[in-house]
Amino acid sequence: SSELTQDPAVSVALGQTVRITCQGDSLRNYYTSWYQQKPGQAPILVNYYLDKRPSGIPDRISGSTSGNTASLTITGAQAEDEAAYYCSSRDSTGHHMVFGGGTKLTVL
Amino acid sequence: QVQLQESGPGLVKPSGTLSLTCAVSGDSISRTNWWSWIRQPPGKGLEWIGELYHNGQTYYNPSLKSRVTMSVDKSKNHFSLNLTSVSAADTAVYYCASQLQRPFDSFDIWGPGTLVTVSA
């Protein structure tokens, strides 16, 4: 079982805002990273640390953390945002990495 | 720009050993970051297998620790994964990834992945 909990599925209307969450006690002490994965492709990093985005990731994808919950917010969702999103961080020991179970985002 | 490429057998027999290599191109494997292996069973989520520093320091997923060994070959600019006593539960796409140092801990670059099937 994962130490990071995500909702299995979320949907959003085209152009609307959606928040994907990741819960875990270790998030109080370690930063969260977020990955986007489309079918048949390797994941790509979309947000990490204090809302940092790798080159090429649009600024409508943002990240934040409050207490034990990290959030990935997509403002003005586009069809190309439809994908699975995974969070990752350290576990409670700090020695190992863990992933959330993933959230499948559907853009309606 | 760093690129990663996994290679190894696509089929392994039960109770055998899964061996994969990740070739690093575009930079030295001795750069200041960690290197990780991550897997994804068909239709399921991501599972971290372990991380490796170029000096040989490793950390493994506790659930796999007794079966996993990771190593680095600086002369070939690649790192490797060995997973022993495999079963059908180890069937997955295996990814190698570059991992930023603390406090970031992000997997910033991924290989395309390689499917390994455990079957007789």
A34-68 residue pLDDT tens:
999 999 999 999 999 999 999 999 999 999 999 99
Of B45, B60, B112, which has the smallest distance from its Cβ to A86's Cβ?
B45
pLDDT category of residue A86 using cuts at 50, 70 and 90: very high
Contacts of B60 in chain A (CB under 8 A): 96
Instruction: Convert the pLDDT of each residue in A2-38 to its tens digit.
Output: 599 999 999 999 999 999 999 999 999 999 999 999 9
Q: Which residues of A48-62 are buried (b: 16+ CB within 10 A; e: fewer)?
A: beeeebeeeeeeebb
A30 and chain B in contact, CB less than 8 A: yes
DSSP designation for B100: P
* Contact state of A86 with B106 under an 8 Å Cβ cutoff: no
